[in-house]
Amino acid sequence: MANLIAYSEGGVRLFNRGHPLRELDAPLQQLFAAVLTYVEGQGATLLSCDTVTAKVVWAHKGQMLMILLLPHLDVRSDQPWLALLDMMHSLLLALLGQPVLDNTKAGELLPKLKMAYPILDHLLALRFDRGGLYLGAVDVAFPPNVPALQNALDLFAYELQASRCFLIVHGRVVVASDEYWSLSARDKLVLACFFSDKNELPNDRLEQIFFLPDASPDRPFRLLAFNVMDNVIIGALCGAEPSLQHVVDEVLAQVWQPAFEALETACTLHVNPCDIACLHPDILAAFVWDRAYHRCLSVVRPETSPSIQQELLLFALDANRLDWEWQLTASSSTSVKGVTSANSSRLSHVSHISNQDDGPVLTALQRFEGCTGDSRLVAADVGSDLMLYLALRPQARTSRTTAAPNSNRVLLHRVQGPIPYPMFVANFMVKMIMNE
């Protein structure tokens, strides 16, 4: 488990979270401070360092220096850890607000930070089982009865006169209001992450102030949340009215009782956020990443090892970085024949697939491919701003395919011939593209 240590601008330690606790002794603190000061004086940014047995990742966040101590070098890339630091700082902003974090003396800030310890501990214990946090996207689920749940949520939002409402099941967003999806990626994700360790609320309800780091870092909203059944949370950002008791007595049962069966069905999607019965046996795990609305669907077979999940997530991060670099190169009218990842410690090969005569081909389904000892990794375009990342069994074979215009079915090719891509992706694509 990683450790998170935070220091004030004056060098006062604000907290140390993680288990077991690991400390930075005074000489090491002084060494870090000296190195950071020197590097910043050269106009550069230093984000991490590796030792024989550990990795240290840090970031300046406002008046705070946040340091992650990682006991093993099981993930060499800095990207997931920097994303984790960003989210933990965003949660501090959401709970305390920008003025408190920036303007409160260290001695007065210490007791205020304690309210964030449970969620920080929860995030430190995560091990890449869901991709959204590290991709900057909200983890979502798609039960078979989304329309009934969406109708209930819309009615709930109307009764509360709240524009930003959401339904979370087992830590994944199932349905939400349009205003919720229109928030920045950071604001959407901080709301979802806040409830990731709260499958059960005290007395089945919660009422507290909550800041949105991008939309409203200095003016709090009133956050209401309710457990209508185990592992189901309905949340809303609203004004001073209605009262919490009024919602409990008059609104909850009236709105959600007709959708009870739909909620029960959604609760069955615990390990995977959708039905995987149609998942092709060669597919070990998959991420579908909607980069426009910052949503992520991650599906994993029960027998798939955590290491493959981790490799697929890191492959997605690498592929996205290479895609961004390629777009910059393509926009400068330079022909690109192929790109190889410099960070190949976990992937034996990551390449960009391009047309040999005409440079990169945007319409090519298969964009990147990599491999590990236990799986083949493929990245593909499946729609506008929609990326698909697959971990396939090593013997599985794919071929370059171009999706037909307006088609919601994509074909993967094996030795035995073409097979229809799992329908959960087709359904997911339709919902995302049509914004339903």
- Per the structure block, which two tokens stand in for 17? 């979270």
Span 220-242, average pLDDT: 92
Q: Please state the separation of Cα 349 from the chain's center in Å.
A: 25
Best-predicted range by mean pLDDT (69-78, 89-98, 425-434): 89-98
- Phi, then psi, of 245 in degrees rounded to 5: -65, -35
pLDDT given for residue 359 in this prediction:
29
Inter-residue contact 319 to 367 (CB < 8 Å): yes
Residue 216: exposed, middle, or buried by beta-carbon count in 10 A (0-12, 13-18, 19+)?
Answer: middle
Contacts of 184 (CB under 8 A, 6+ apart): 214, 215
405 falls in which pLDDT band (50, 70, 90)? Answer: very low
pLDDT digits over 107-165, tens only? 899 999 999 999 999 998 877 667 788 888 999 888 878 889 999 999 999 999 998 99
CA dist 376 and 374 (Å) reads 7
**Where is average pLDDT lowest: 90-99, 161-170, 222-231, 312-321?**
312-321
pLDDT given for residue 100 in this prediction:
93
Q: Is cis: bond before 20, omega within 30 of 0? A: yes
Separation in Å, CA 3 to CA 69, 92, 112, 175, 303: 5, 16, 20, 33, 29
Q: Where is pLDDT greater, at 372 or 105?
A: 105
pTM of the shown model: 0.80
Does 290 have pLDDT greater than 90? no
Q: Where is pLDDT greater, at 79 or 360?
A: 79
pLDDT digits over 21-67, tens only? 676 666 776 777 777 778 878 888 778 887 777 788 888 888 888 88
Residue with tokens 């670099």: 325
CA dist 123 and 194 (Å) reads 10
Residue with tokens 């059960």: 200
pLDDT given for residue 416 in this prediction:
30
Inter-residue contact 232 to 205 (CB < 8 Å): no
Contacts of 7 (CB under 8 A, 6+ apart): 13, 14, 29, 64, 65, 67
Kind plus residue range of the DSSP H or E element containing 40: helix 26-41
Q: Where is pLDDT greater, at 71 or 348?
A: 71
Does 407 have pLDDT greater than 60? no
331 falls in which pLDDT band (50, 70, 90)? Answer: very low
Residue 42: exposed, middle, or buried by beta-carbon count in 10 A (0-12, 13-18, 19+)?
Answer: exposed
Q: Where is pLDDT greater, at 192 or 310?
A: 192
Separation in Å, CA 418 to CA 346, 415, 426: 30, 8, 16
431 falls in which pLDDT band (50, 70, 90)? Answer: very low
Neighbours of 200 (CB within 10 A): 10
Alpha helices by DSSP H, listed for 42-131, are 79-96, 98-103, 106-113, 117-125
Residue with tokens 């964009």: 367
